[in-house]
Amino acid sequence: MGSRLGKVAVIVVTVAITARLLPLLWTPHPFNPDGFVFASQARDAIAAGTLPLESINPQGYIYPTLLALTGVITDVAPLALAQPTIAVVGAIPPVLAVLLVWRLASHHSRESAITLAALAAGLTLALEGLYLRRTVTVSYEVLGLLFVALVAIGAYRFCRTRRPAWGVATGMLLVALPITHHLSTFMAALTLTGVVVLAVARDWQRALAPGLVVLALPFWGYVLGYYALTRPPFSDDLASKPGLFAAWVIVMAIGALWLARARARPLRLAIAGVAVGGFGILGANALWELFPATAATPPRLLVYVAPLTVLAALAIWGLPLGTGPEGDRAIVLALLVAPLAWVGFAVTAGVDPVYALFARRGQTFVHLATVVCAGLAIVALARRVDPSHRRVVTVGLPILLCVCALASLPLAFAGLEALAYQGTTTSEEFETAGFATATLGDDWTSDDHITRVASNYHGTSASPQPAYGWLHGGGGDLQCPTVMQASWQTVGAQQYPADPLSIDQLAYSGTVTTEHAVYATTGADPVTIVVPTGERAC
């Protein structure tokens, strides 16, 4: 069985890394403009011989350090290393999914069925579009997703065994998390709370001291104290509703205890209601724009997400096997309830863009538990059918799950036609942003994508607001040198978090021909720098 497990793990990690390297087929630059921040910080650290702490957010030290060290060891520029390092980090959670399915199913079915179920779970997490979108992006959240899963595993083992090795390993992760990614840190705190609640409920005499006294209370104090001093992004939005947040922590703890002991039917119905609510909000946002000042759900996004209803259905069926009061089932349950509580807080806190962001980011953390339960559902359903049809279920359901994951995969790399945020930065866009910064300084404008790239890598403060004003006005005379892009006439210019802004083809071409076009590229989506003929006002 160990040989099969090893082969499955190798397949999954290979596919996961490959999927996260796919952006390099169409651009050599990091997928996600925020990746340029980390590349520039690592570049500056290598040049100075020390990490430039003054230019790094206090909640983001770990990834630039990793990138700088990798650059020094390999003698490769951080800008070129950003995507490969994230690909490796992002490929580890799918392997954890394989291991959890394997351990939880090992006493319930034949080895061949377990192998296929574990492989399907790992490949699904490696390929499905919603999760891949967040783990192909060059972001410190990818480290956070891994650390949260490892904290759940390590904390439960420490609570149950009291072995110092587990305590030290978990403690190191907890110390690192607040300087890794702030939202992941709160997710880790919720997950840790869920783990400790379940462990203490199972054996309070053994788990209370290591879980509550050694891990949970010190970590919450560390997180709240550190972030009170450093004020990371969105901290004010979280701190403005402490009562609501505390209420959701309590709901999560009580919910975890109930779910751990619930019978199969009410357990499935409870989580099915949550899943229907999540898909329902996504669909309703396409019709009524539930979150003002943010983009409505585009129809294409619904098409990409629809196949994941199969994953949700299988996961709901597998919940009784995957979650429970002890062992690996308690770990999976904690990984399930923590992000649900976070999303619940976000949905009930308000409808402004920050809470919509909380909900979008929070749902990513539930995918690991989801694919584990879906894999276990395959094992359970294979046991239930007649032996003459068992092979059809054992082979067919893993194939179906993987096909649905593949059908959603385009979402991960979608641009403004499906999402409000463009992840890809072409060489033409990057070079144009560099040229504009070098020649115009801060006195130029473009959409949110190109100005973000320039700000993140070159440190310019060029604003997209003049470009927004020109686009809202339907064109006309430019007031500020503008980096324009041909796709503004079709999918539009990025105006994150709101919907893209498009402009009429005649207005676009008229501006290019009547003003001074001083720089232009070729390619699939040409970029042009146009300087106004009249007086400038940026």
Instruction: State both tokens at 490.
Output: 């079709």
Q: How confident is the model at residue 530 (pLDDT cuts 50, 70, 90)?
A: very high
d(CA 180, CA 173): 10
Could you give the CA distance from residue 447 to residue 485 in angstroms, rounded to a whole number? 9
- 259 near 335, Cβ under 8 Å? no
Half-sphere exposure of 139 (CA within 13 A, CB side): 22
- 419 phi and psi angles, rounded to 5 deg: -135, 165
According to DSSP, the residues that pair with 501 across neighbouring strands are: 493
Q: What is the rounded distance in angstroms from the CA atom of residue 97 to the CA atom of residue 95? A: 5
Q: What is the DSSP pairing of strand 527-531 with strand 482-485?
A: antiparallel
Angle, helix 92-105 to helix 367-384, in steps of 10 degrees: 30
pLDDT reading at 164 higher than 70: yes
Among candidate residues 93, 275, 64, 296, the one with its CA nearest the CA of residue 180:
64
Cα–Cα distance between 425 and 429 in angstroms, integer?
A: 6
Q: Is the pLDDT of residue 110 over 80?
A: no
How far apart are alpha carbons 166 and 352 in whole angstroms? Answer: 40
Helix residue spans in 289-389 (DSSP H)? 299-305, 308-322, 327-349, 353-364, 367-384
The model's confidence at residue 158, banded by pLDDT at 50, 70 and 90, is: very high
Report pLDDT digits (tens) over 385-425: 777 778 888 899 999 999 999 999 999 999 888 888 999 99
CA distance 37 to 457: 6
Distance, in Å, from the CA atom of 175 to the CA atom of 219, rounded to the nearest integer, reads 8
Is the model's pLDDT at 189 over the cut of 70?
A: yes
Separation between Cα atoms, residue 460 and residue 456, nearest integer Å: 8
Instruction: For residue 218, count CB atoms less than 10 angstroms from its CB and return exposed for 0-12, middle for 13-18, buried for 19 or more.
Output: middle
Tens digits of per-residue pLDDT, 320-346?
999 999 999 999 999 999 999 999 999
Count how many Cα atoms sit within 13 Å of the Cα of residue 212 in the half-sphere of its side chain: 12
Give percent of the chain above pLDDT 90. 78
- Is the pLDDT confidence value at 109 over 80? no
Measured distance CA(310)–CA(273) in Å, rounded: 15
* Residue 473 reports pLDDT greater than 90: no
H or E stretch at 86: helix 78-90
What's the pTM? 0.94
* Percent over 70 (pLDDT), the chain: 99
Q: In this predicted structure, what is the pLDDT of residue 205?
A: 87
Task: Please report the pLDDT score of residue 1 as a whole number.
Answer: 58
Produce one character per residue of 411-422: b if its CB has 16 or more CB atoms within 10 Å, e if not. bbbbbbebbbbb
- Residue 529: strand pairing partners: 483, 519
| Residues contacting 347, CB < 8 A, separation 6+ | 281, 355, 359
Interval 268-323: pLDDT, tens: 999 999 999 999 999 998 888 888 878 888 889 999 999 999 999 999 999 999 99
CA gap 494, 422 in Å, rounded:
7
By CB neighbour count within 10 A (0-12 exposed, 13-18 middle, 19+ buried), where does 34 fall? buried
Taking residue 272's Cβ as centre, other Cβ atoms within 10 Å add up to: 16
As given in the structure block, the two tokens for residue 58 are: 């206090």
Q: Under a CB-based contact definition with an 8 Å cutoff, are residues 412 and 136 in contact?
A: yes
**DSSP-based three-state secondary structure for 485:** strand
The average pLDDT across 209-227 equals 94
- What is the C-alpha R_g of the chain? 24
pLDDT band at 515 (very low <50, low <70, confident <90, very high): confident
Model confidence at 108, pLDDT cuts 50, 70, 90, reads low
